[in-house]
């Protein structure tokens, strides 16, 4: 495997911010819902301060009719669903992405640790007899650490293969990303020639 020479520069790690993904549809619904709540709150204030009871009488007339009850029930049900959805957005916690920041003469280059994990997985899969690889990259003093989990074939020497994974991951990551890999932990989860197959009903 040919390892390209990496660029020079200093590196540091930074934690990413949690960003909640709300699409344009949810934004429109939020705007309409907020507008309706503002109008309803304004009417309640007017009724409480000025003694304006016509809206209450109109609502009472609606409740006396079957059609009116259905309309009010549908509106209340939709409002309840919308409220639950926005509560979900309020309490949801997305995993923040950590980024590796390279400082060069021309500025900063941000590299997500998830991108390095993809690179590590590809490198480990390139070792003979290794498959079903999963990797995790984490911050360490002076660089990054890597955990590699996978399955190896019984035809290969496990200690030598693990050493080859460690060396390849360290060299390739250093030269491609430009950061020191201070630790590579390899977990051999299984030694088998069997591959994962989907169960057919």
Cβ 191 vs Cβ 137: under 8 Å:
no
97: DSSP letter: P
| Structural contact between residues 181 and 170, judged by C-beta atoms closer than 8 angstroms | yes
pLDDT higher at 163 or 2: 163
Q: How far, in whole angstroms, is CA 167 from its chain's centroid?
A: 30
pLDDT value of residue 197: 43
Residue appearing with tokens 């060299």: 171
Provide, rounded to the nearest whole percent, the portion of the chain with pLDDT above 90.
Answer: 29
Residue 1 predicted with pLDDT over 60: no
Instruction: Kindly report, residue by residue over 156-193, the tens digit of the pLDDT.
Output: 999 999 999 999 999 999 898 888 899 999 999 999 88
Round to whole Å and give the CA distance between 30 and 37: 10
Domain segments of the chain as ranges: 10-14+97-190, 24-91
**CATH fold of 10-14+97-190:** Alpha-Beta Plaits (3.30.70)
Residue 143 gets the label, from left (phi > 0), alpha (psi -120 to 50) or beta, of left
pTM for the model stands at 0.52
pLDDT tens-place string over residues 105-145:
787 878 888 888 999 999 999 999 999 999 999 888 778 89
């Amino acid at each position: 495997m040919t390892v390209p020479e990496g660029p020079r520069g200093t590196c540091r790690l930074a934690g990413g911010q949690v960003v909640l993904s709300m699409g344009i549809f949810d934004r429109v619904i939020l705007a309409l819902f907020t507008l309706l709540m503002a109008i309803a709150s304004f009417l309640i204030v007017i009724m409480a301060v000025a003694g304006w009871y016509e809206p209450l009488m109109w609502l009472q007339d609606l409740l006396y009719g079957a059609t009116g009850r259905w309309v009010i029930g549908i509106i209340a049900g939709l409002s309840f669903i919308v409220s639950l959805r926005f509560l979900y957005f309020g309490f949801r916690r997305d995993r923040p992405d950590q980024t590796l920041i390279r400082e060069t003469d021309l500025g900063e280059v941000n590299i997500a640790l998830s991108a390095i994990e993809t690179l590590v997985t590809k490198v480990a899969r390139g070792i003979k007899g290794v498959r079903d690889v999963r990797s995790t990259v984490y911050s360490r003093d002076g660089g990054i650490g890597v955990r590699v989990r996978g399955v190896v074939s019984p035809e290969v020497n496990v200690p030598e293969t693990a050493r080859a994974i460690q060396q390849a991951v360290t060299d390739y990551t250093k030269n491609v990303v430009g950061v020191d890999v201070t630790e590579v932990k390899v977990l051999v989860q299984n030694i088998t020639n069997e591959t994962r197959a989907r169960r057919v009903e």
